[in-house]
Amino acid sequence: MQLVSVERAHEYSSCLPAEPQQQSPQPPPSWPRCGSVEFRRVVLVYREGLPKALDDVSLAVRGGEKVGIVGRTGSGKSSLFAALFRTAEVNGGRILLDGLDVAGVGLRQLRSRLAIVPQDPFVFSGTVRENLDPCGRHRDRQLLEVLNQCHLGPAVDAMGGLDAELLHRGRTFSLGQRQLLCLARALLTEAQVLCVDEATASVDRQTDRLLQKTIAERFRHRTVLTIAHRINTVMDCDRVLVMHAGKVVDFDTPAALRRKDGSLFRRLLGGEADRDASTPAGEQTPSPDVHV
Ligand code: ATP
Ligand code: MG
């Protein structure tokens, strides 16, 4: 297995085409100041011959807005983030972050100004500290605070604290705990835009609610794009973006979408919307997974 790692490292370093080098001129250090995100007629095809993962997507998110993203599996939700972070280069259209086309920004700069909690939580083999703060920018107090906010404090304590080793890329943590660790890492950044991809898929409802609160508090004035699982998350957003087959089918306030007859959003909620709305916080009925 270790030899395969060496083989893979060799392949990655010598055979894969490199991502583009730094572009110039570089964006100002304060960019993006307000965190507005605009997609203009964006088309994304992962490989030749495959269907369009994003098909003529246009949308504008205001700085500081909280947007929930829903849609069936394979509808292109994660691809929106892939295009924004340029882990996949778009085949057409433009993406503007505070009015600046991300295609012209160096990848290191671009990605350092955004934060993501990916669908597949990324954890390195290394210490908790290295995972949270790979560049060593933060004090222990800040790291412990953010771990507590993400409800990981007791688990990390039990392992031996910030210098405890996470073996096998964090497999000693459950999937939910790894997602929480990625969220903690994102909360530590100064990024103006936070992208959360189903971060709470494997987290129980009680923890999920507390996490939503943490995100709302720490990112109150910043933009948050959340690929949402549960009705409550979506209902608390300023607007909901509904994706279908790579296209935007709706983008409006949750209340407006819910009223809209025959909307995909209503169908995704499967009639749960009306019931949930009339149920007070702390409801007993489980919400459906709105993305499926
Ligand atoms: P889910 O709810 O299952 O996470 P999604 O809405 O996030 O789905 P995407 O991951 O954006 O969907 O996928 C959109 C389409 O692009 C799908 O048809 C998927 O198979 C395809 N796709 C996604 N990532 C890749 C990739 N790296 N290479 C090739 N095709 C991909
Ligand atoms: Mg996805």
Mean pLDDT in each 10-residue stretch from start to end of the chain (292 residues)? 91 85 78 95 96 97 96 94 96 97 90 89 89 92 94 91 84 82 90 85 76 85 90 86 95 92 81 41 42 46
Q: d(Cα 269, Cα 290) in Å, to the nearest integer?
A: 6
Q: d(Cα 42, Cα 66) in Å, to the nearest integer?
A: 21
Give yes or no for residue 71 CB within 6 A of ligand 1. yes
CATH number at residue 92: 3.40.50.300
> What is the per-residue pLDDT for 285?
39
DSSP sequence for 39-80 = EEEEEE-SSTTSPPSEEEEEEEE-TT-EEEEEESTTSSHHHH
15 falls within a domain: no
Task: Compute, in angstroms, the gap from residue 157 CA to the centroid of ligand 2.
Answer: 32
Give yes or no for residue 55 CB within 6 A of ligand 1. no
142 falls within a domain: no
12 falls within a domain: no
- Contacts (Cβ under 8 Å, ≥6 apart) of 93: 39, 40, 41, 42, 43, 56, 57, 58
For residue 54, list its beta bridge partners.
44
Distances (CA, A) of 63 to 17, 24, 37, 99: 34, 25, 7, 11
Q: d(Cα 277, Cα 281) in Å, to the nearest integer?
A: 9
Q: d(Cα 238, Cα 245) in Å, to the nearest integer?
A: 23
Length of the chain, in residues: 292
Distances (CA, A) of 26 to 53, 104, 135, 192: 29, 9, 21, 17
End-to-end CA distance of the chain: 36
**Digit-coded pLDDT (tens) for 102-124:** 998 989 889 989 999 888 888 88
Tokens of 275: 């019931």
5 falls within a domain: no
Give yes or no for residue 76 CB within 6 A of ligand 1. yes
156 falls within a domain: no
> What is the per-residue pLDDT for 201?
62
52 falls within a domain: yes
Task: Compute, in angstroms, the gap from residue 78 CA to the centroid of ligand 1.
Answer: 7
Q: d(Cα 68, Cα 276) in Å, to the nearest integer?
A: 17
Pairing of strands 193-197, 54-61: unpaired
Q: What is the residue range of 231's domain?
A: 29-123+173-291
135 falls within a domain: no
229 falls within a domain: yes
> What is the per-residue pLDDT for 284?
37
- What's the total number of domains in the chain? 1
Whose Cα sits closest to atom 28 in ligand 1? 46
The angle formed by the CA atoms of residues 252, 257 and 263, to the nearest 5 degrees, is 120
Q: d(Cα 193, Cα 163) in Å, to the nearest integer?
A: 29
Give yes or no for residue 46 CB within 6 A of ligand 1. yes
Q: Which helix (H) or strand (E) holds 251?
A: strand 247-252
Total-model pTM: 0.86
Give yes or no for residue 79 CB within 6 A of ligand 1. yes
Whose Cα sits closest to atom 18 in ligand 1? 74
Name the DSSP class of 291: T
